[in-house]
Copies of this chain bind each other. A is one copy, B any other.
Amino acid sequence: MTLVFTPRYAGYAAAVRASFERQGVLMAWGAELLEVAPGTVVLRLPFSDRVTQQQGFFHGGVVASLADSAGGYAAMTMLDEGLEIVSVEYKVNFLAPAVGDELIATGTLVRAGKRLLVSTAEVDVVRGGDMRPCALLQQTLAPSVPAGASSAS
């Protein structure tokens, strides 16, 4: 399916960026926000010893977290002003060992309901000049009022 999304307010990209920069775990890993467009967000994560599993590759949980964030922010581009996004649930398949210099996660919104949104995300691992898919995620998200202990359910 090919979908066209029209954001609800001009500052949607700035809101995504501000939220991204408050994520302690992504900041600790050195993640970067490469692109924010309506229904699409691209993130980058460089390799370091803070993101490895027992064999020295990118950890699956790190790969999934980056995918979850990319898909979540893709959904956030379609929220009303002042709302944050929270993940209700997600499912991730690991397609290949994440061995390389950096991860690129591309999140894509596929359904923007009022109470629930659905995104997918693909993660590619870059090694030398080569780029290959290493994970695929599908997730359910919900809008959340940011102040206080709001819940996904």
Q: Which residues of A contact B (CB under 8 A)?
A: 1, 19-20, 22-26, 28, 49-57, 59-62, 64-66, 68-69, 84, 86-97, 99, 110-111, 113-118, 120, 122, 124, 133, 136, 138, 140, 142, 146, 149-153
Q: Contacts A23-B59, A28-B50, A60-B87 given: A96-B136 contact, CB under 8 Å?
A: no
**Copies of this polypeptide in the complex:** 4
Q: Contacts A54-B23, A65-B62, A91-B89 given: A99-B149 contact, CB under 8 Å?
A: yes
Q: For A56, list chain B residues within 8 Å (CB).
A: 24
Q: From DSSP, what is the main secondary structure of chain A's interface residues?
A: mixed
**Contact in complex: A94, B152 (CB < 8 Å):** yes
